[in-house]
A and B are shown apart, each in its own frame.
Chain A
Amino acid sequence: MSSSKDISLPINDAQQSGCGCSSTQDTSAQQSGCGCSSTQDTSAQQSGCGCSSTQDTSAQPNVASTGRSLWRSLGAQSADAEASAFAAREFSSASDVLEGDDRRNFIKIMGAGFALAGMGLTGCRRWPESKIVPNASQPANRTPGVSVTYSTAVDFMGIGYGLVATSFDGRPIKLDGNTAHPYWGGTSTSWMQSRVLELYDPDRSRQVFRAGKPSTDAEFKSWLGERAKAMQAKQGDGLVVLTEKTSSPTMLDMIARFTQTFPKAKVVQWNPIFGNTHREGSNIAFGQSIRSQPQLENATVIVALDWDPFSASPFALRNMRSWADGRRVRAEDPTKQTQNRMYVVEAGVSVSGMAADSRLAVRRGDMPVFVAMLAQALGITGDSALKSAIDRLASCPASKNIVGDGEKEIFEQLVKDLKGAKGTSVLVCGDGQPAEVVALVAAINESLGANGKTLNMEPMSADTMGLPELVKSMNAGQVDTLMILGANPCYNAPADLDFSKAMGKVPNVARVAYYRDETSMDSACTFHVPQSHFLESWGDVRAPDGTLSVQQPLIQPMIDPAQGGHSAIEALGMLLTMSLGDSQPQDGYAMVRRTHMALSGLTGSTFESSWRTWLDTGMIVGKPITSANVSSRPSDIARAVNMLADAQPASRDASVELCFMNDARVFDGCFANNGWLQELPDPVTKITWDNALLMSVATMRRLGLSQGSMVTVNAGGRSMQAAAFPVPGMVDDCVSITLGCGRGESAGRLAVDAGFNAYPMRTTSTMRLVRGATVQATGAMYTFAHTQDHGSVDAALIPSVPHDGIQERLPTLVRQTSLASYKTHPDFAGHAVHTPHRLSLWQENNLDGAHFRWAMSVDLTTCTGCSACVTACQSENNIPIVGKDQVKRGREMFWIRIDRYFRGADPAKPNGFAIQPVACMHCENAPCEQVCPVAATVHDADGINSMVYNRCIGTRYCSNNCPYKVRRFNFFDYQRREPVREQSGPLAVKPEYYVDTGPNEWVRMQLNPEVTVRMRGVMEKCSFCVQRIAAAKIKYKNEWVKAGGTSGGTSNFSIPDGAIVTACQQACPAQAIVFGDLNDPKSQVSKLHASKLSYGMLEELNVKPRVKYMAKVINPAVDHSQHEGHSYTPAHENDGSTNKNQGAHS
C-alpha cells in the first residue's frame, strides 16, 4: 500500500502538480505550488513558476567565445563581431538601457524596479517555509494528480459495511459505500463519511503510556510477554479480554484461538448502545437467541415502536433504502401507484417519526401497554394465558390516556392495516423497551406472518459474559489481567457498576484504543497503547446478509512504529505469540489471509487469485442467510407480559419520565471528537455541538422553563444538569436526552463543552428509561448553537407573525399530498403557486447551445432528513467546521442543509413535519450573478452557477439576493482556525492572518486536492461537485478522441447518464437525489424534471432553478389534508393579455 506515511505527503502535491522540475532534498516549498527551484536549500519564492536554474542561458557572446559548450550560432562560437552585435540587438530594449552609459536612465529603471518590487509586496511578506520530500522514484500504480479508489470495509457496532475509499497521493480523503455490495449498496451515513476525518484527528493517541507516563511499544510488549507467561501458567484464570461487538471473522477466530490457549480466560463484549435487549427478548419468545432483521422492502405496513430505524441505528442505511424503495412515486399511471405505510409510535421526535405517514406520541414507559392494546385489538391468540396476560396489561391505568382523542382514528386504522396485511407487515420494537416487550412484539409478528417474510430470523451464537458479571468478578479480585480492546467502559458503563472503581482492583490493565480517553486516563490503567485506524490496518467484516468484506488499509499507521498502532486482532495476536511462540502470525494481513484461506477452503494460487478479486471488488459473496424457522412459546411470552403488567404503576403515572436516546451525531460518544459530526445539526432539533434535555412545549411550560433553561434532573437517586430545549410533537410528561455527549477534554479538544453527559444517570436497571424524574430550573441559562430557528424556538412557538408566515408559505415551499389525493390530482404540485408575471430586467442568458445542462432532482417523498448528504458534501468539498460560537452567530458553512418545518396552526402541537434538503439551485437566471459587482459568480457553459473564489472580494450582495440563502461566507479563515470555543475578552477573535500552518497538518491531509480551499472574505456554495463533472468530461472526451473524435472545435462527446455522481447523491441512503444532463432526454433527471410532481421551489421568482423537487406523496392512515397546495393561492388571477405562455402554472 502507500509507501509514505509521514506528513510530507500533502506537500508533495505541490511538487507534483507543478511544472515538474526535479528537485533535490530539503528545498523549501513554494507557496504558489508551481515550479521548484533546483538548487539545494534555496529559500521560498513566491511569484512565477520560473524554474530557476543555475545555468544562465541568456545571450552572452563573450562567454560563448571563451569556449562554453553552449552556443547559439556558429557565428557566436567563432566570436564573429557581426554575430555578437546581432545577439546584443536581439535583446536590445533591455540591453540598451542597462548597457548604455546613461546614468540617469539606469537610476530610473532601478527605481522603477524597486517600486514595483515594493508594490508587489513580494519582498515584504514572509511566506511560510516548509520542507518537502520528493518522490525520488515513482511509486507503482500511481499517476500524480489522479485519485485512486480502493475497496475496504468497516465494522461498526458489530455490523460490517463495505466501503470504497478514495485516495489521493497516498492519503485517503473520502469514504463511500461500495456500490457493488449486495446488502448495503453504494450509499453511506454521516458516521461512515466522517470516519475519514477520524483518521486525521490530531487528538488521536500516538503515544504508549504506562501508568500515565510516556512509554514505548517495546516496553508494552515485554510487559505483555510477562503477563502471557503468567496467565498461561494458570490457563488464563483471571485473564479477561473486553472488546466491542464485532462481526469480523478474523476477530472471532482470534477470540476462539485465545479461548483455546487460555481455557479459563473470559471474553466480554460491551457496547453501551444496542445491548442485549433483542437477544433476551428472543430468548423469551423463542427459547433461543435470534437476530430478527427487518426486511422493509417486503413490507407494506411498517410499525416502529419506540424505534428509530433511520437514524441512531446501525441498520439505518439498509432501512432507509428498503423503505424508500417501497414508496418512491414513479408509476406511469398515478392510479396504480402504491406506497408502504409507516407508523411510528414514539416518545420523542425522531428522523423516522418525521418521515412517518402517521405518528403517535406515546411515552416510553407506556409503550408496553400500547403494544398490549395493539395485540388485544389484533386478537393475538397464542393460548389463553397469553390472551389474559395481554388483556391484563392492556387494561392497565395508563391505557386510558395513551391514545388521545385525535389519535383514536389512527390507532383504529393501524389495527385495520395490520389485519389486512398479513405477511407484508412488520412491527419493530426498539431497544428502548424491555426484553418482555420484544417478546410480545415477536408474538404479534408471528401471528401477522412476518417471520421469514418481513423479518429475517437469524440464530445468533451464544452470549458472552456480560459487563455486570465482569465487574462483579473484578470487585471480587478474581481478575488479574484485563485487556481492553477499544471499549471505553469508564465512560459509558452503567453508572451503578462504577467500572473505574472495579478497575482499581485489577492489578494489570492494558488498553488498546484509538483515543487516550476516560478508560486509558484512569489511574488503574497500566498500559495505554495506540490503536490503528481501520484505514491503517487489515481486517475483515461481515454484513448482516453474510457478505464478507476485507478491510484493506490505505495508509500505514500514522504513528511512530515504536509507539504501537496495533489493531484489535493484532493485539490479540501479540498476546498469543507471547504464549505460543513465533509460529503465530503477528500482523493483521497474515491473520486475515489465514481466516479466509480457512473459510474459503482455497489454497495456493487459487486462493491468491480469489484474494485479489476479493480485495478488488471489496467483498466475498457468501451464501445468503436464509430465515430460520422458529416458533414462539406463548406461555413464556405470557409470563413476560404478566411481568410487564406487574411493573406498571397502579394508578395513572403522571410523573415525568427520563428517556435515554441514541445520538444521531456522536452515537454513543465514540465520535465526540469528530468535528464534522459535532457540527452536524441534529436532524430534529438542529442543535450542533450539544445535546439537550428535550421535552414537549406543554411540558416545558408546565415545568416553568424556557429554551436554554439550565435544569437539574433528579431520577433514580441520581442527578445531572442539562439545558432544556423544546421539541414540538414530543409526548408530554417525558424528557429525553441523548447519550454520548458531554465527554469533555478526555475525548479530545473538540468535545470540550459539547453537551451534557447522561451516562451517570444510567444504571443497569435503567438503561433506557427512568420513571419519576423531577426537573428543576437552576436559574442559569444556556445558549444553544442551532442552525435553524435562530434566536429562539420559543418565539416560534407562540402563535405569532413568524409562525403564521411559516405556515402560510410552507405549502408552496414543501409541496405535499396524500397518496389518495395524488391519484386524483397527480399534477397538484404545479398548482401550488400561480405566477402571472415572469419578466426579466435584462435579456436572459438562455444558455443556448450548451453541450450539457446539468441539473438535479430531489425526491421529497423518500428524503428522511438523515443528513448523510451534509457530511458527504463536507468531506468532498473541504468545507470547514466553524465551531460552536460561530454556529451561534449563524455562520455554519454547509453547502447543503436539511430544512425542517413543523406543520400546523398550533406551533406546540404540530400535525406533521416537512423535510427538505436545500443546496444551491444553480438558477439559470441567477439573482446572485446580477448583483455581484465584480462578476465573481457567473454561469459556465453547461449552466452551472460557478463561484470564482479568486475574483470574489466579499461584498456578500449575492447572498443577500439569494432567495434560498445557500451561499456561505468565510467570515474568518475557517480553514486555518482552530475550531475553538467561545473565547473571552473583547478581542475574542485574534488576527490570525500570519499563522502560516493552520490548525494542524494532519487535518489538512484530509483535504480534497481537487477542491480549492477557500480563504477568508470569499463567498462559497454548492458547485454541483464540479470537480467530478470535470473529471468525467476529461475521461469521456479522451475516450471519444481515442475513438476517432476530433479534438478542438465543437466536441461532440457524450457522458453516459449516471457517470457523474455528486457527493450528496452518492451518499443518500434513500437515493432521493438524482443528478444528470437535461440535454439528454433519456437521462433520469430529464425524466424526473418532466414529471408532474416536479416543481422548483420559489420558481415564481423567475430564477429558473436547475434543482427541482419531486413533491412529497405520503400515505397517511387518516388523510385530513387534501392536497395542500390549494389552501393558499396568492396572485391567483392571471392576466392573460400580457403573458400568453409565461403565465403558465409554475
Chain B
Amino acid sequence: MSSLPVNRQTALPGFQETDNTAENPGVRAPLVLNMDRFGQVTRQVCQVAESKKPPFAWYVAFTVSLGLVGLLGFCVNYLIFTGVGVWGLNNPVMWAFDITNFVFWVGIGHAGTLISAILFLFRQKWRTGINRFAEAMTIFAVICAGLFPGIHVGRVWLAYWLFPIPNQMDMWPQFRSPLLWDVFAVSTYFTVSFVFWFVGMVPDLATLRDRAKGRIQQFAYGLFALGWRGSNRHWHRYEVAYLLLAALSTPLVLSVHSVVSFDFAVSQVPGWHTTIFPPYFVAGAIFSGFAMVVTLAVPARQLFGLKDLITLRHLDNMNKIILVTGCMVGYAYSMEFFIAWYSGAMYERFAFVNRAFGQYWWAYWIMVSCNVITPQLFWFKSIRTSIPIMFALCLVVNIGMWFERFVIIVTSLANDFLPTSWDFFTPTWVDMGTMMGAFGLFGTLFLLFCRYLPMIAMAEVKATMPQANPHWSGYEAHDDHGHAGGSAKPSFASPDALRSPGSGPDGGPPAL
C-alpha cells in the first residue's frame, strides 16, 4: 500500500490514527485503511453484531440511556395525566423546551439524509463510511422530534385531529397553519428516510443472515433481508431504487426544516417573522446534524474498532462541512441583526437587541460562542484531525444549536409586543427530565442499532476500495486465484463483480 498517500500517524495518547487526509491530486485518498480484502470489511462490520458480548462501555451507555428512557416515560405520563402546567410555560412563553427540543431533533435528523442522498447524488464516495449510521441517527432523531409536538398539546388524546382523517364531526384541519405543514413535512421526511435507510440496508442484512449462526438471527435477518440473493437483477433493481429514493430525499432535506422554520417565519412575533429563516434553519440543521454525526462516530469507531472504515479523512470532511455551515449560521445571525436595524421596525429591532442584551443575554452569547466562534477553529487542519478536540467542539456545537432554538423561541415570545405581558421562562424539573429523556431515547435506539444492525454500509464501502476496480493494479501484479481459503482474498473475474461486492457471506462473490 505504499503508493497510498498515508503520510503520518497522529500520536495523541489513546488516539492512534492513520492519517489519510493528505491531498494528492494524482491519487485518490484511501477510504478504507489497512484492508485489502472485502472479507476483512465484512468481518470488521459484522463482528459487532455477531460477537457474544458487546464492549463493556456499551453496557454502561445502554444502562444510562435506558434509565433516561424511564425518566422520559415518567415525565411524559406525569405530563399527560396532570396537565401541561407541569412544565414551566407561562402566558407569553407558550412554547419553550417542547418546541426547542422538537426543532433541535429535527435539525439533528438532517445530516443522515443529506449524507445518504445529496452526497450520493454528488458522487461523494466518502459518504459510504458514515451514511448508514448517520441515517439511523436521522430516523431516531426524527422519532425524538416527533415525540414533542405529540405530547406538548393540551389535550394529547385529541392530537390525532392534526391529521386529515375523515370523521363524523365533519371537521378538517386548518391548512393555513404552519403547524399542520409540520405534520406533513415531518411525517413525509420520516417515512422517506426510513424507507431509504431500510432499502440501503437490505444487502447488508442479507450478509448478516448468511453469516448468522443462531436460528433467531437467521430468522430475523432473513425476514428483513427480503429474500436478497445478490443476483444481478437484484442489484440492478436495487440501484435504481436507491437512486430514485436519493432523488426523492434530496428535496426533503431542504424542505423539512424550511417548513419547520415556517412555524416561526409565518407568525408575526418579532424575532420570528423573518424571511431568512428557511435557508438559515436548513444550514443550521445540517450544521447540527453533522456535529451530531461526529459526536457519535468518534466513540462508535473507537468502541467497535471501525477506525479503518471511518477514517480521519471522513471526520475531516465532516468538520469542513461543519465549518461551512457554521459560517452560514453566523452569517444568518448577523444578517438578522442587520435587517432588524435596517427595517426600522421598532418591535423587530427591540427583539434582537433584547436577545443579545436583555434578560436572556447569556443564552444568546452561549449560542454565538458555540455556533459561530467555535467552528472557526476548524480552519486549522490540526484541529480538524484531532479526535479529542473535534469531539469536544462538536459537543459544543450541539449545545450551541440547542440554545439557538431556545433563543429564537423563548426570547422572542418572552418579550413581544406589549411589555405588560413580558415574562420570564423558568424550566421545571419535568422540562429537564423530558429533555434528558429524549436523549436517552435517542441513545437507546442508537445503541441497539449499533449492536444488532450493520453500522456501516458494507456493500457500498467495498465499492470504494481500489480492489473494487477491475483494473486495479493489484490484480495485474499477482494472480491470487487458487490461494488457500478461497474467499479470503477478493477475486473479481468480471466487471460484474464491481457491482456485487457484498453479497456473499464474506463479501466476496458466492464461492460457487
Q: Are A973 and B83 in contact (CB under 8 A)?
A: yes
- The distance in angstroms between the C-alpha atoms of A951 and B174, with both chains bound, is 12
Chain A positions within 8 Å of B179 at CB level: 931, 933, 955, 957
Chain B positions within 8 Å of A795 at CB level: 359
User: A-facing mask of B65-93, CB < 8 A → 1, else 0?
Assistant: 00000000000001001111110111111
Q: How large is the interface on A (under 10, 10 to 19, 20 to 34, 35 or more residues)?
A: 35 or more
- The distance in angstroms between the C-alpha atoms of A788 and B420, with both chains bound, is 5
User: B-facing mask of A982-1017, CB < 8 A → 1, else 0?
Assistant: 000011011111000000000000000000000111
Chain A positions within 8 Å of B359 at CB level: 791, 795, 802
- B155, B173, B177: the one contacting A954 at CB < 8 Å is B155
- The distance in angstroms between the C-alpha atoms of A246 and B253, with both chains bound, is 77
* Closest Cβ–Cβ distance, residue B201 to chain A (whole Å): 34
Most A-side CB within 10 Å, residue of B162, B268, B353: B268
- Does residue A234 face the partner (Cβ distance < 8 Å to B)? no
Tell me the chain A residues, 780-808 only, with Cβ under 8 Å from chain B.
788-791, 795, 800-802, 805-806, 808
Q: Are A1101 and B78 in contact (CB under 8 A)?
A: no
- The distance in angstroms between the C-alpha atoms of A585 and B121, with both chains bound, is 100
- The distance in angstroms between the C-alpha atoms of A989 and B74, with both chains bound, is 14
* Closest Cβ–Cβ distance, residue B353 to chain A (whole Å): 6
Query: Which 9 pairs, one residue from A and one from B, show the smallest C-beta to C-beta distance?
Result: A954-B154, A1017-B154, A890-B90, A971-B85, A956-B94, A965-B421, A991-B81, A790-B423, A1017-B155
Chain A positions within 8 Å of B177 at CB level: 930-933, 957
User: Taking A801-B354, A1130-B345 as contacts, is the C-beta distance between A961 and B91 under 8 angstroms?
Assistant: no
- Does residue A86 face the partner (Cβ distance < 8 Å to B)? no
Q: Are B85 and A1130 in contact (CB under 8 A)?
A: no
B-side interface residues toward A, CB under 8 Å? 78, 81-86, 88-95, 149, 152-156, 158-159, 161-162, 171-174, 176-180, 183, 263, 266-269, 344-347, 350, 353-354, 357-359, 413, 415-424, 429
Q: Are B422 and A801 in contact (CB under 8 A)?
A: no
* Closest Cβ–Cβ distance, residue A952 to chain B (whole Å): 7
User: Taking A801-B354, A802-B415, A971-B89 as contacts, is the C-beta distance between A927 and B268 under 8 angstroms?
Assistant: yes
Q: Are B83 and A892 in contact (CB under 8 A)?
A: no
Q: List 9 A-B contacts (CB under 8 A).
A: A802-B358, A805-B353, A808-B346, A808-B350, A891-B90, A927-B268, A952-B154, A969-B91, A1131-B344
* Closest Cβ–Cβ distance, residue B74 to chain A (whole Å): 10
Q: Are B268 and A965 in contact (CB under 8 A)?
A: no
User: Taking A952-B154, A960-B269 as contacts, is the C-beta distance between A991 and B422 under 8 angstroms?
Assistant: no
- B86, B95, B266: the one contacting A956 at CB < 8 Å is B95
* Closest Cβ–Cβ distance, residue A246 to chain B (whole Å): 40
User: Taking A891-B91, A1017-B155 as contacts, is the C-beta distance between A971 and B83 under 8 angstroms?
Assistant: yes
Chain B positions within 8 Å of A957 at CB level: 94-95, 177, 179, 263, 267
Q: Are A965 and B354 in contact (CB under 8 A)?
A: no
Chain B positions within 8 Å of A1087 at CB level: none
* Closest Cβ–Cβ distance, residue B202 to chain A (whole Å): 36
- Does residue A968 face the partner (Cβ distance < 8 Å to B)? yes
Tell me the chain A residues, 941-992 only, with Cβ under 8 Å from chain B.
951-957, 959-961, 963-965, 968-973, 986-987, 989-992
Chain A positions within 8 Å of B154 at CB level: 952-956, 969-970, 1016-1019
* Closest Cβ–Cβ distance, residue B352 to chain A (whole Å): 10
* Stretch from A147-155, A617-625, A655-663, A894-902 at the B interface: A894-902
Tell me the chain A residues, 878-926 only, with Cβ under 8 Å from chain B.
886, 889-892, 897, 899-901, 918
Q: Are B171 and A951 in contact (CB under 8 A)?
A: yes
* Closest Cβ–Cβ distance, residue B90 to chain A (whole Å): 3
- Does residue A1128 face the partner (Cβ distance < 8 Å to B)? yes
Chain B positions within 8 Å of A989 at CB level: 82-83, 85-86
* Closest Cβ–Cβ distance, residue A798 to chain B (whole Å): 12
- A805, A934, A963: the one contacting B161 at CB < 8 Å is A934
- A813, A842, A968, A971: the one contacting B418 at CB < 8 Å is A813
Given A801-B357, A802-B359, A959-B91: 6 more A-B contacts, CB < 8 Å: A900-B420, A932-B177, A933-B183, A953-B158, A963-B416, A991-B81
- The distance in angstroms between the C-alpha atoms of A974 and B353, with both chains bound, is 37
- Does residue A841 face the partner (Cβ distance < 8 Å to B)? yes
Q: Are A930 and B81 in contact (CB under 8 A)?
A: no
Chain B positions within 8 Å of A800 at CB level: 357-358
* Closest Cβ–Cβ distance, residue B272 to chain A (whole Å): 8
* Closest Cβ–Cβ distance, residue A164 to chain B (whole Å): 33
Q: Are B91 and A987 in contact (CB under 8 A)?
A: no
Chain B positions within 8 Å of A806 at CB level: 419
- A808, A886, A963, A990: the one contacting B268 at CB < 8 Å is A963
- Does residue A701 face the partner (Cβ distance < 8 Å to B)? no
Q: Are A990 and B82 in contact (CB under 8 A)?
A: yes
Q: Are A1016 and B161 in contact (CB under 8 A)?
A: no
B92: nearest chain-A partner, CB-CB? A965
- The distance in angstroms between the C-alpha atoms of A1019 and B174, with both chains bound, is 17
User: B-facing mask of A63-105, CB < 8 A → 1, else 0?
Assistant: 0000000000000000000000000000000000000000000
- The distance in angstroms between the C-alpha atoms of A1015 and B480, with both chains bound, is 77
- Does residue A142 face the partner (Cβ distance < 8 Å to B)? no
- The distance in angstroms between the C-alpha atoms of A931 and B481, with both chains bound, is 68
- Does residue A1145 face the partner (Cβ distance < 8 Å to B)? no
B419: nearest chain-A partner, CB-CB? A806
Q: Are B91 and A886 in contact (CB under 8 A)?
A: no
User: Taking A801-B353, A960-B413, A991-B81 as contacts, is the C-beta distance between A954 and B153 under 8 angstroms?
Assistant: yes
Tell me the chain A residues, 757-791 only, with Cβ under 8 Å from chain B.
788-791
- Does residue A59 face the partner (Cβ distance < 8 Å to B)? no
- Does residue A521 face the partner (Cβ distance < 8 Å to B)? no
Q: Are B91 and A1017 in contact (CB under 8 A)?
A: no
Q: Are A972 and B94 in contact (CB under 8 A)?
A: no
* Closest Cβ–Cβ distance, residue A298 to chain B (whole Å): 36
Chain B positions within 8 Å of A11 at CB level: none
Chain A positions within 8 Å of B86 at CB level: 989
A990: nearest chain-B partner, CB-CB? B82
- Does residue A670 face the partner (Cβ distance < 8 Å to B)? no
* Closest Cβ–Cβ distance, residue B269 to chain A (whole Å): 6
Q: Are A931 and B419 in contact (CB under 8 A)?
A: no
- Does residue A416 face the partner (Cβ distance < 8 Å to B)? no
- The distance in angstroms between the C-alpha atoms of A986 and B346, with both chains bound, is 42
Q: Are B269 and A961 in contact (CB under 8 A)?
A: yes
Q: Are A953 and B159 in contact (CB under 8 A)?
A: yes
- A935, A963, A965, A990: the one contacting B91 at CB < 8 Å is A965
Chain B positions within 8 Å of A791 at CB level: 359, 422-424
Q: Are B347 and A809 in contact (CB under 8 A)?
A: yes
- The distance in angstroms between the C-alpha atoms of A1037 and B510, with both chains bound, is 87
* Closest Cβ–Cβ distance, residue A661 to chain B (whole Å): 23
- The distance in angstroms between the C-alpha atoms of A842 and B78, with both chains bound, is 40
- The distance in angstroms between the C-alpha atoms of A971 and B158, with both chains bound, is 16
- Does residue A720 face the partner (Cβ distance < 8 Å to B)? no
Most B-side CB within 10 Å, residue of A841, A934, A963: A934
Chain A positions within 8 Å of B92 at CB level: 890, 959, 965
- Does residue A1098 face the partner (Cβ distance < 8 Å to B)? yes
Q: Are B429 and A971 in contact (CB under 8 A)?
A: no
* Closest Cβ–Cβ distance, residue B261 to chain A (whole Å): 14
Chain A positions within 8 Å of B84 at CB level: 954, 956, 969, 971, 1016-1017
Q: Are A930 and B419 in contact (CB under 8 A)?
A: no
* Closest Cβ–Cβ distance, residue A925 to chain B (whole Å): 11
User: Taking A808-B350, A960-B94, A1131-B344 as contacts, is the C-beta distance between A1017 and B153 under 8 angstroms?
Assistant: yes
* Closest Cβ–Cβ distance, residue B6 to chain A (whole Å): 55
Q: Are B419 and A901 in contact (CB under 8 A)?
A: yes
- The distance in angstroms between the C-alpha atoms of A927 and B159, with both chains bound, is 22
* Closest Cβ–Cβ distance, residue A1069 to chain B (whole Å): 22
* Closest Cβ–Cβ distance, residue B278 to chain A (whole Å): 15
- The distance in angstroms between the C-alpha atoms of A954 and B179, with both chains bound, is 12
* Closest Cβ–Cβ distance, residue B145 to chain A (whole Å): 16
User: Taking A842-B176, A955-B179, A991-B78 as contacts, is the C-beta distance between A802 and B354 under 8 angstroms?
Assistant: yes
User: Taking A933-B179, A934-B173, A964-B418 as contacts, is the C-beta distance between A889 and B90 under 8 angstroms?
Assistant: yes
- The distance in angstroms between the C-alpha atoms of A991 and B429, with both chains bound, is 16
B91: nearest chain-A partner, CB-CB? A890
